[in-house]
Amino acid sequence: MSAAALRRLTLRVLELAGVLFIVSVGVFSLVVLLPGDPAVDILGAGRPPSEYAELRHDMGLDQPLHTRYFDWLGGVLTGDLGRSVVPPQSEVSDRVVSALPVSAEIAVLGLLIALLIAVPLAMWSAYREGGIADRIIGAGTFAVLSVPSFLAGLLLVMVMVNSLGWFPRSEWVRIGDGDLLGNLHHAFLPALTVALVELAMFARVLRGDLIVTLREDFILAARAKGMSPLRILFSDALRPSSFSLVTLLGLSLGRLIGSTVIVEYLFSLPGMGSLVVNAANQGDYPMVQGAVLTIAVIYVVINAGIDFSYGYLDPRTRRVHV
């Protein structure tokens, strides 16, 4: 790695650290600013005030805000996200570690399915711009976009599980259990539910960019070399057209990991979305802080990775900062 590239990377990492610092402050204060008293939540109402005060002291809640923040941050940096305040008061990090793979798998699998369907659809649409296939695909993606995911999920469950019996009723098989096929079998429907909306978006965005690219002179030049249309689409048109798609992909991945609550409920998946929602309902603030921070870190890191990928997608953006 050249000195300039190393310098760029260092700057980028510092920038990331800054963003993450702001995120951590946001996550911390969000929960502090929330109404409700954790001590009351834990002990229940109607106890003598001294008991509440004692508990607050034990939990460090009587300390000034900045002290509490740095205590919390110190823990976070050493991998300790604290303990849940709700019985059985499990370690936040344990719960996050068990929920994260579920959400990540659904998100990644969903996006893969979405890409696998969206890319060929977009290519076909763009290649035959204005044709019958383009119009059908356009109308279809628009219809899918306007169907909310809870409805799509319900329909999928009704058809695929209840009527056809192709997929098992909701229950989760962990990848770690060694039953990869069983895991995929269970993950497919929720992933497909997630994929539907995303694929409609991907297809529309990629189609638009492809149409612009296909009008470029270098596409005509590739045709004049005798390349087949399919080859031109994949090897000449796709990469220069994929900026918006890749950006969208990064945003979707970050979003899906944290906020597929509806799909998780529908398929009773023990993912991050349900973890956060349950914790928030129970006033379990360390859990909310830990989970939201994890999601935020993943989001920021993924999108930093996306920024780096632009350099691969378009060599012209590989500038050397002096």
Partner 1 sequence: MGLPERETVTSAPVPLLQATDVATVFRTPRGAMRAVDGVSLSLARGETLGIVGESGSGKSVLGRTLMGLITDGPETSVTGSVLLGGNDVHALTPAGRRTLWGTEVAMVFQDPMTSLNPVKKIGRHLSESVRLHLGLSRAESRDRAVDLLCQVGIPEPARRAGQYPHELSGGMRQRVVIAMALACGPRLLIADEPTTALDVTVQKQILDLLQSLGEELRMATILISHDLGTIAGRTDRVAVMYAGRLVEHARTAEVFDNPRHPYSRALIASIPHLDLSPHTLLPAIEGRPPNLLNPPAGCRFAPRCVVATDLCTTQSPALTGRAGDDTGGAVACHHPLGAAKEATV
Q: What residues line the site for partner 1 (CB under 8 A)?
A: 216-218, 220-228, 235-236, 239-240, 313-316
Residue 65 vs 220, nearer CB to partner 1: 220
Nearest-approach distance from CB 318 to partner 1, in angstroms = 9
User: Hey, what are 243's tokens?
Assistant: 């900026």
- Taking the least distance from each CB to partner 1, the nearer of 243 and 265 is 243
Least CB distance to partner 1 at residue 23 (A): 33
The rounded distance, in Å, linking the Cα atoms of 283 and 277 is 10
Tell me whether residue 88 or residue 315 sits nearer to partner 1 (CB atom): 315
CA distance 69 to 289: 11
Nearer to partner 1, 171 or 217 (CB): 217
Structure tokens, 206: 């990629």
Report the nearest approach of partner 1 to the CB of residue 220 (Å). Answer: 7
Phi, psi at 172, each rounded to 5° = -115, 135
Q: Residue 50 CB: number of other CB atoms within 10 A?
A: 8
- Long-range CB contacts (within 8 A, 24+) of 182-188: 183/105, 184/109, 187/105, 187/106, 187/109, 188/109
Closest approach, Cβ 252 to partner 1, in A, equals 23
Least distance CB 119 / partner 1 (angstroms): 17
DSSP 252-315: HHHHHHH--HHHHHHTT---HHHHHHHHHHTT-HHHHHHHHHHHHHHHHHHHHHHHHHHHHH-G
CA distance 188 to 134: 28
Q: Give the shortest CB-239-to-partner 1 separation in angstroms.
A: 5
Identity of the residue, 216 or 307, whose beta carbon is nearer to partner 1 in the bound complex: 216
Ranges assigned E (strand) in the chain: none
Compute the least distance from the CB of residue 122 to partner 1, in Å. 18
Nearer to partner 1 by Cβ, of 51 and 314: the residue is 314
Q: Which is nearer to partner 1, 21 or 218 (CB)?
A: 218
